[in-house]
Amino acid sequence: MGEQGQKLRLGALVALVVGSMIGGGIFSLPQNMAARAQAGAVLIGWGITAVGMLALAFVFQTLANRKPELDSGVYAYAKAGFGDYMGFSSAWGYWISAWLGNVGYFVLLFSTLGFYFPVFGEGNTPVAIGCASVLLWAVHFLVLRGIREAAFINLVTTVAKVVPLVLFVVIAACAFRLDIFTQDIWGLDNPAFGSVLEQVRNMMLVTVFVFIGIEGASVYSGRARRRADVGRATVIGFVGVLALLVLVNVLSLGVMTQPELAGLQNPSLAAVLAHIVGPWGALLISLGLAVSLLGALLSWALLCAEILYATARDQTMPRFLAQENANQVPANALWLTNGMIQGFLLITLVSAGTYTSLIYLASSMILAPYLWSAAYAMSLAVRGETYEGQPAQRRKDLLVAALAVGYAVWLLYAGGLKYLLLSALLYAPGVILFARAKHEQGLKLFTLTEKLIFAAVLSGAALAGYALWSGLLSL
């Protein structure tokens, strides 16, 4: 089959975006949100998220169209705008976020099975981790068979998992009660929530996690049949997933009270539907979650390998990560990714970390890549690069990019110092691979500016390490 036949069409690109975003997060959304905010703050938070994430979606669309020579999304944009180390760090952070999310997905999947088979507990028992490990390597060898085959399976699972979510929305809309939704709508009867601003801030990282994957099509831009499909897939996927997320969250708040939702075990969506229609509702959602997680695990296995492969091909990562097998799959990148997932699965056996803490850490790692992409789009508009003779479009794109930058900065603030320090701890070791890549090319490791940036990262990592050792900080 020719090279053109191996390219991804619009439908497959949309499925990669939707399949990457709809993983386990939406199935735990009712409890995750209710534990942090009341209905009024939730509506405000979704409003901020809709504007910020839509701005990011448009940023990726704009960059895909205006910089078609830059393949692989977040990494390429950061490197083009801010140099080799920022490009490497963007890819490194994105990669870590992706496989950390997969660890969370494995825990959630077997926590769901724990409803029916107590031996799996909350997804981190020895039996659960053993089964998760078997599934991990099954996905690994499936992806090794070829990108196109895995992308097709992802398309099928994406369609399959959307059906129970749409059914939930229809049933919950019929059961929705305004009196439940408006009960203590601003959380004034719960001092632990704090002010409305604090509630909005506390829910922000959850909204980031459920939208990670919005850049999925841009990561695969080099494999798209038509370049324009990359931007279209990003916006189509975003709008569809946003509608599902908001409806699932808001309708749940009108079916059960905030304290009831906050006390549910995840996946909380199963308990909400069971509350409406009985036990078969929980079974339906559990089956939907299983399909959803399998599809998301596949999507992120693809994305993880692709981002390492792209950076290695561009000589920002060591050469061994650019090696492909006979099926044109970046095999070494895939082995490294799944090796890290396996390691963290074993850590969950002894760690107090939960699904929520894993998704918060995964969310915090993606913030810098999003910020650098938005900042690059803004710099293009400020300089007028690619906007010759288009002053109106330039002003529009500048506004959108500025909104995206502001949103990314707000997320860094919302995440708080804890996750900023933990992110630094995970960013710092990446310099080993960066240094090897520079050595392979016979180049100097850092520019002066990059030395200062790395010094700040190293300081944060040292502080985080001390805080973890002393007990001041925990996962």
Give the model confidence (pLDDT) of 394-425 as tens digits: 999 999 999 999 998 988 888 788 888 989 99
Q: Are 52 and 404 in contact (CB under 8 A)?
A: yes
What is the tens place of the pLDDT at every residue in 315-335? 889 999 998 888 888 889 999
Mean pLDDT (whole number) for 137-158 = 71
| Token pair of 466 as six digits | 């001390």
Buried b or exposed e, range 55-79, using 16+ CB within 10 angstroms: bbbbbbbbbbebbeebbbbbbbbbb
Angle subtended at Cα 341 by Cα 339 and Cα 345, rounded to the nearest 5 degrees: 120
User: Backbone phi, then psi, for 8, in 5-degree steps?
Assistant: -90, 130
User: What is the distance between the alpha carbons of residues 42 and 171, in angstroms, rounded to a whole number?
Assistant: 21
Banded pLDDT at 372 (limits 50, 70, 90): very high
Per-residue confidence at 5, pLDDT binned at 50, 70, 90? Answer: very low
Q: What is the pLDDT of residues 246-293, one digit of tens each?
A: 999 999 999 999 999 998 877 889 899 999 999 888 888 888 788 777
Question: What is d(CA 217, CA 233) in angstroms, rounded to the nearest whole number?
Answer: 6
Alpha helices in 268-390 (DSSP H): 268-277, 279-313, 331-347, 355-383
Q: Give this prediction's pTM.
A: 0.82
The whole-number average pLDDT for the span 437-448 is 92
pLDDT bracket for residue 162 (50, 70, 90): confident
Domains of the chain plus CATH, in order, are 4-416 (1.20.1740.10)
Length of the chain: 475
Q: How many CB atoms lie within 10 A of CB 271?
A: 22
Mean pLDDT, residues 90-113: 86
292 vs 140, more confident:
140
Question: Any idea which of 51-65, 126-140, 155-169, 390-404 has the lowest mean pLDDT?
Answer: 155-169
Burial of 367: CB neighbours in 10 Å, binned 0-12, 13-18, 19+: buried
What span, in angstroms and rounded, lies between the C-alpha atoms of 35 and 141? 38
Name which of 52-66, 173-187, 218-232, 286-300 the model is least confident about.
Answer: 218-232
- Return the pLDDT at 1: 34
Mean pLDDT score across all residues of the chain: 84
378-400: buried (b, 16+ CB within 10 Å) or exposed (e) per residue?
A: bbbbeeeebbeeeeeebeebbeb
